[in-house]
């Protein structure tokens, strides 16, 4: 096969995975794009996407039969194997093209190491909403564990907010049965987040599936299960100095602050309503 120039990664990332209708992306794809026989392409075993819904795949097969593959597959060479390429992004298109009876597909070849290939695979799948929430979390964890990414790094590379990355990674703390329902699409990410603090997450997850509970229904269950706070007797009311200190700290941080103490020891609580507020608090404390 004739060798063609391969775009390097970096600032061309957005152009490589941009929408088909964007002029800049179309120009970038035309460079280094070639037709490759489907038999010469191999799936990436490290692809964060593991689940391929059969009905969705059949819908794509019908579209490909009518219009062909509009968005090229992104691939890289495999060391030691001439003319064999590993798919970085586009495995679903490759699978559908085979079902549709195509013999080749448009491919963009890029030079990418394992880290860059994983980045691209996650970015493309996240932007297309092709990953379920658990797959997305596992992809982020893989970048953290294998390549030392911080959550700030992930947010920058993936193009999501820091709070989105943090919230998604928290889903990995769910019990296994609940994570399996999430992976199967029987639970939404919203359902899963509402279960994070529940000791009976598996039981509630099963009820969500069986009864079709909404996220709001799950939140109401959590509120009912929360212990009721009893009003403190007058003897335990905070003194004026403590209330003044709470007020000063609260104004400095822009959050609700509560201080309790007994003798020389005590506890400082800072309440936040969103992960954005938490990020802001962490930045202030680090300064």
Please report the DSSP string for 127-181 in residue order: HTT-S-HHHHHHHHHHHHHHH---HHHHHHHHT--HHHHHHHHHGGGS-HHHHHH
At 57, which helix (H) or strand (E)? helix 54-67
Given this model, what pLDDT does residue 59 score?
A: 85
Q: Is the pLDDT of residue 235 over 50?
A: no
> 147, 140 in Cβ contact below 8 A?
no
d(CA 150, CA 145) in angstroms, rounded, equals 10
Given this model, what pLDDT does residue 19 score?
A: 40
Query: Which region holds residue 90: left if phi is over 0, alpha if psi is between -120 and 50, else beta?
Result: left
Per-residue pLDDT tens digits for 98-145: 999 999 999 998 888 888 888 888 887 776 666 788 988 988 998 888
Residues of the chain with pLDDT > 90, as a percent, come to 19
Report the CATH number of the 13-128 domain.
3.90.1530.10
Q: Is the pLDDT of residue 165 over 60?
A: yes
Q: What is the largest CA-CA distance in the chain?
A: 86
Confidence of residue 164 (pLDDT cuts 50, 70, 90): confident
Catalytically annotated residue among 3, 23, 91, 136: 91
Residue 41 in tokens = 């392409």
d(CA 141, CA 124) in angstroms, rounded, equals 17
Closest by alpha carbon to 222, among 240, 204, 241?
204
Given this model, what pLDDT does residue 264 score?
A: 67
Confidence of residue 28 (pLDDT cuts 50, 70, 90): very low
What is the rounded average pLDDT for all residues in the chain? 79
Given this model, what pLDDT does residue 22 score?
A: 43
Given this model, what pLDDT does residue 142 score?
A: 86
**CA dihedral over 10, 16, 22, 26, signed as positive or negative:** positive
Given this model, what pLDDT does residue 230 score?
A: 47
Confidence of residue 222 (pLDDT cuts 50, 70, 90): low
Given this model, what pLDDT does residue 280 score?
A: 80
Q: Burial, 5: exposed, middle or buried (Cβ in 10 Å; 0-12, 13-18, 19+)?
A: exposed
Q: Are strands 81-89 and 104-109 parallel, antiparallel or unpaired?
A: unpaired
Given this model, what pLDDT does residue 27 score?
A: 37
Residue 72, CB half-sphere, CA atoms under 13 Å: how many? Answer: 25
Query: Quick check: pTM over 0.85?
Result: no
Rounded to an integer, the average pLDDT of 35-63 is: 84
Which range is least confidently modeled, 1-15, 121-135, 249-263, 268-282? 1-15
Rounded to an integer, the average pLDDT of 174-191 is: 90
Rounded to an integer, the average pLDDT of 223-239 is: 54
Which range is least confidently modeled, 95-99, 175-179, 232-236, 256-260? 232-236
Given this model, what pLDDT does residue 156 score?
A: 85
Given this model, what pLDDT does residue 225 score?
A: 59
Q: Catalytic annotation on 146?
A: no
Which range is least confidently modeled, 6-15, 32-41, 234-243, 272-281? 6-15
Rounded to an integer, the average pLDDT of 51-69 is: 84
Q: State the distance between the two ends of the chain, measured CA to CA, in whole angstroms.
A: 57
């Amino acid at each position: 096969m004739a060798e063609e120039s391969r775009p390097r990664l970096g600032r061309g990332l957005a152009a490589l995975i941009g929408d088909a209708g964007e002029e800049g992306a179309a120009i970038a794809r035309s460079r280094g794009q070639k037709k490759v026989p489907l038999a010469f392409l191999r799936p990436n075993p490290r692809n964060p996407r593991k689940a391929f819904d059969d009905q969705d795949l059949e819908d794509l097969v019908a579209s490909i039969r009518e219009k062909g593959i509009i968005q090229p597959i992104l691939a890289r060479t495999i060391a030691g194997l001439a003319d064999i390429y590993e798919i970085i992004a586009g495995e679903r298109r490759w699978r559908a093209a085979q079902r549709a009876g195509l013999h080749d597909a448009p491919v963009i070849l890029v030079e990418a190491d394992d880290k860059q290939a994983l980045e691209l695979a996650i970015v493309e799948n996240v932007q297309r909403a092709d990953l379920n929430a658990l797959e997305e979390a596992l992809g982020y964890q893989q970048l953290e564990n294998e390549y030392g990414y911080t959550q700030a790094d992930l947010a920058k590379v993936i193009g999501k907010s820091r709070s989105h990355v943090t919230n998604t990674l928290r889903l990995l703390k769910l019990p296994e049965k609940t994570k399996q329902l999430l992976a199967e699409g029987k639970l939404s990410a919203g359902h899963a987040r509402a279960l994070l603090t529940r000791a009976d997450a598996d039981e509630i997850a099963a009820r969500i599936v069986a009864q079709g509970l909404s996220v709001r229904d799950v939140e109401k269950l959590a509120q009912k299960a929360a212990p009721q706070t009893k009003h403190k007797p007058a003897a335990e009311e905070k003194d004026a100095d403590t209330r003044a200190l709470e007020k000063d700290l609260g104004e400095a941080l822009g959050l609700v602050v509560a201080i309790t103490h007994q003798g020389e020891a005590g506890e400082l609580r800072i309440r936040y309503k969103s992960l954005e507020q938490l990020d802001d608090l962490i930045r202030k404390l680090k300064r």
